[in-house]
Amino acid sequence: MTTLVIAEHDNKQLKPATLNAVAAAQKMGGDIHILVAGSGAQDVAAQAAKAVGVASVLLADAAHLQDGLAENVAEQVLAVAGDYSHIVFPATASGKNVAPRVAAKLDVAQISDITAVDSADTFERPIYAGNAIAIVQSSDEKKVITVRVTSFDAVAAEGGNAEVKTVDAVADSGLSSFVGREVAKNDRPELTAATVVVSGGRGMGSAENFKLLEPLADKLGAALGASRAAVDAGFAPNDWQVGQTGKIVAPQLYVAIGISGAIQHLAGMKDSKVIVAVNKDPEAPIFGVADYGLVADLFTAVPELEKAI
Amino acid sequence: MKVLVPVKRVVDYNVKVRVKSDQSGVDIANVKMSMNPFDEIAVEEATRLKEAGTATEIIAVSCGVAQCQETLRTAMAIGADRAALVQTDVELQPLAVAKLLKAVAEKEQVNLVILGKQAIDDDANQTGQMLAALLGWPQATFASKVVIEGENAKVTREVDGGLETISVKLPAIITTDLRLNEPRYVTLPNIMKAKKKQLDTLTPEELGVDVTPRIKTLKVSEPPSRKAGIKVADVAALVDKLKNEAKVI
């Protein structure tokens, strides 16, 4: 029994989500190999080889693997999939994009966004926006799985000593091509990895007012998040969205400001260790999950809070 | 260009579901059902492509129990020209649905399939990608903008850290993200017109697809509930609690 973990990276850096996926793979038992599919990604392979618990790193390097196009990456995974009992992806945008394509080609069901490993074939996953937890058992010979990264503590990035093997890259499918990328400018911690998250909702009122959260986030060393209402209203960029259809976060401290707490939002943050809510409506559902609630106007409470910390 | 739009009947997004006391699943008897919100966006996008003269015909398809007909009528009220229901009482999982959709897509000779990125009941986010794999077509998932340019579709996708744009060769699969469009409200005259539109019923057997579930649900339970919190009087009290009680700052 051997598990293949598909590395998440940008051809230069191994993304931390990979280390969480390795941690989940350890619970499935057996050796763990990592596949790095990319272009000029030797550094990524070297970083993956240092991760604790990794037995071997496979590097597939070709120009058409550079941008993570699903058709090419899925073919690359299939090309090496032969001997593995488990194929594991972090449940990131790229993991979710590729994993089902691999599963369908192998004619196996895929298990999405697992939050716990009960045994090599039994897993826990949230359904209905996190309002229920299902324990599911796969009867397929190969398991294709995506892992909710916030549910598993990452393995150490240093300390391992795996060998890096180069594998043949598959041919370009020619079905799709990469056009361009618009990276949101962000010098704060990454939302899904931050230990503190400060999020704003519709109650912020405008994109200008959203800036009110910045000094507070700076003081706390926090990432900024947003509810769907705030994103749809144009107050915040869409990759800040926390919720069922956005990012899933589980920081030490989550500060929800002007967020009512719709179930779709709660699905993205209710595993946070401590939740603080600031809202002027004492009936807002967010107070049902908040450890500490403050019923107050955010426009006076936020600057006060920033000064007091 | 013929467009296929798969739609799913799910528990309405405003309903807070309850786990059954025997832990066999979620209680969906007598709760409000609606079209999966991402699928509404898919139907809307197909309709806009037709209004722009790009699409010639829109076929809505749903897989599941007889009541899915209501979901298909809604799709036709938004703008689908006709509909097909693949009727079965078996619990359908994404791989089975993808196989059914492949059979329908081939039967109808479509050039584009637009699906929602995920259904809000099983939260799987798989069917579109699986369908693309089975058909051997390219995929553009989590789309926030779609431009059809001749033999290609240029699609802007929502990814971690921002947006990326890819170009896929038609025929192709697109899955919708929330910001692709704002679905229109269905009007009463359109609901009436939708009742007259053609709705065919098929079965998995007719399509030659084995829909046996591959994943067995052993148990469904309530998520661990959070300990009831407290309301604090003012900012000073809040900061004090965070520093001395929770010790998170």
Predicted pLDDT of residue B248: 86
Q: What does pLDDT average to over chain B?
A: 96
* Cross-chain Cβ contact B139/A180 below 8 Å: no
CATH fold, domain A2-166, is Rossmann fold (3.40.50)
In chain A, ranges of CATH 3.40.50.1220 domains: 191-308
Find all residues with CB under 8 Å of A191, minimum gap 6, and list them: A197, A223, A224, A225, A239, A240, A242, A247, A249
Give the residue from B154, B238, B241, B244 with the most A CB atoms within 10 Å of its CB, the best one to mutate.
Answer: B238
Residue B124 within a domain: yes
Q: Which of residues 214-253 of A touch B (CB under 8 A)?
A: 220, 228, 231-232, 237-239, 244-245, 247, 252-253
The chain A residue lying nearest B249, using CA atoms, is A220
pLDDT above 70 covers a percentage of chain B that reads 100
Q: Which CATH class is domain A191-308?
A: alpha beta
Predicted pLDDT of residue A108: 98
Predicted pLDDT of residue B33: 98
Domains of chain B: total: 1
| Band of pLDDT at residue B75, cut at 50, 70 and 90 | very high
| Band of pLDDT at residue B191, cut at 50, 70 and 90 | very high
Per-residue confidence in pLDDT tens, chain A, 309 aa = 999 999 999 999 999 999 999 999 999 999 999 999 999 999 999 999 999 999 999 999 999 999 999 999 999 999 999 999 999 999 999 999 999 999 999 999 999 999 999 999 999 999 999 999 999 999 999 999 999 999 999 999 999 999 999 999 999 999 999 999 998 777 899 899 899 999 999 999 999 999 999 999 999 999 999 999 999 999 999 889 999 989 999 999 999 999 999 999 999 999 999 999 999 999 999 999 999 999 999 999 999 999 999
Nearest to A119 by CA among A137, A144, A139: A137
Q: What is the DSSP string of B165-223?
A: EEEEESSEEEEE-GGG--PPPPPHHHHHHHHHS-EEEE-HHHHT-----SEEEEEEEPP
Contacts A274 to B, Cβ<8 Å = 242, 246, 248
Residue A132 is nearest to which of B223, B232, B246, comparing CB atoms? B223
* Burial of residue B190 (number of CB atoms within 10 Å: 0-12, 13-18, 19+): middle
Nearest to B168 by CA among B147, B138, B146, B129: B138
Residue B25's domain comprises 2-222
Q: Report whether pLDDT(B226) > 90.
A: no
Predicted pLDDT of residue B51: 98
CA distance B193 to chain A (A): 32
Residue B101 within a domain: yes
What is the ipTM for the molecules in this complex?
A: 0.95
Residue B229 within a domain: no
Predicted pLDDT of residue A161: 96
Predicted pLDDT of residue A115: 97
Nearest to A192 by CA among A250, A239, A145, A244: A250
Nearest to B85 by CA among B209, B208, B199, B210: B199
Residue B243 within a domain: no
* Cross-chain Cβ contact A132/B126 below 8 Å: no
Predicted pLDDT of residue B143: 98
**Which CATH number covers residue B208?**
3.40.50.620
pLDDT in tens, B22-68: 999 999 999 999 999 999 999 999 999 999 999 999 999 999 999 99
Query: Which spans in A81-206 are helix H?
Result: 93-105
Q: Are B130 and A100 in contact (CB under 8 A)?
A: yes
Decide if B190 touches A, using CB distance below 8 A: no
Predicted pLDDT of residue A305: 96
Decide if B231 touches A, using CB distance below 8 A: yes
Contacts B169 to A, Cβ<8 Å = 174-176
* Burial of residue A234 (number of CB atoms within 10 Å: 0-12, 13-18, 19+): exposed
Residue B237 within a domain: no
Q: Which of residues 25-54 of B touch A (CB under 8 A)?
A: 26, 38
Decide if B130 touches A, using CB distance below 8 A: yes
pLDDT in tens, B88-107: 999 999 999 999 999 999 99
